[in-house]
């Protein structure tokens, strides 16, 4: 069974500050991928960043970076220089070698001006 846990239902951050969203997962697969998706009020799911489990180097996309701790099965998302447009639901997801994604319950992030 695949499970993805996001323990922070809601978070807020001041504009221009940094925030970290937590995610832990459980998988028995040896090769898998991890993703962070953003869902703004429009409900469109937008890929933020992805990490391949066999790569030790943490993925980075502009202001977004991850802290991937494979042994701990942890995959946190750090957003630097937060912007108002970052306000959204953030979902952590795992793809354990199968076709589909398993999503966490999400973290609602609010960026405060």
Q: Is 84 helix (H, G, I), strand (E, B) or coil?
A: helix
Segment contacting another protein by CB under 8 A, of 15-23, 64-72, 77-85, 104-112: 104-112
Segment contacting another protein by CB under 8 A, of 20-28, 44-52, 58-66, 69-77: 44-52
Token pair 């030790």 is at which residue?
56
Residues 82-101 contacting another protein, CB under 8 A: 91, 95, 97, 99-101
Among 35, 68, 75, 90, binds another protein (CB under 8 A): 35
CB 89 within 8 A of CB 108: yes
């Amino acid at each position: 069974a695949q499970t993805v846990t996001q323990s922070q239902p809601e978070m807020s951050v001041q504009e221009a500050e940094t925030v970290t969203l937590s995610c832990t997962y459980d998988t028995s697969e040896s090769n898998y991928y991890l993703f962070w998706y953003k869902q703004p009020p429009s409900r469109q799911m937008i890929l933020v960043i992805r990490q391949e489990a066999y790569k030790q180097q943490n993925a980075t996309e502009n202001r977004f970076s991850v802290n991937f701790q494979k042994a701990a099965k942890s995959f946190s998302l750090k957003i630097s220089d937060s912007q108002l447009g970052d306000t959204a639901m953030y979902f952590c997801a795992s793809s354990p070698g199968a076709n589909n994604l398993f999503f966490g319950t999400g973290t609602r992030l609010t960026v405060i001006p």
